[in-house]
Amino acid sequence: MTINSRSTSAGSQRARILEALALRPHTSYELRRLGCYQCPTRVLELRRMGYDIQTQRVSIWDTEGYRHHGIALYSLAEAHGQRTQ
């Protein structure tokens, strides 16, 4: 699966989130732009599958110049007991 996949199935969204977080931390705003509209739900599912995903609250400016407070910044710390490189 690639980040550019257009499927909106839960499995495809989880795969895109994992792919994105393997590269670097992403905000919920960025993940929505990748077609993951249920980020908190998908992240919860991934956590239940054993992925260690950390959440930090941040403030961002979007591409249209609006400031958003309390946006989730997700980072992948571990996956199934294996440290990510």
Per-residue pLDDT, 78: 61
Q: What per-residue confidence (pLDDT) applies to 16?
A: 95
pLDDT at 7: 85
Each residue's pLDDT tens digit in the chain (85 positions)?
A: 455 567 889 999 999 999 999 999 999 999 999 999 899 999 999 999 999 999 999 999 988 999 999 999 999 986 454 444 3
Nearest residue to 25 via CA among 74, 85, 77: 74
pLDDT at 85: 37
Residue-wise DSSP of the chain? --TT----SHHHHHHHHHHHHHHS-EEHHHHHHTT-TTHHHHHHHHHHTTEEEEEEEEEEE-TTS-EEEEEEEEEEEEETTEEP-
Q: What's the pTM?
A: 0.80
Evaluate whether 51 touches 78 at the Cβ level (below 8 Å).
yes
CA-to-CA separations, 34 to 3, 45, 85, in angstroms, rounded: 7, 18, 23
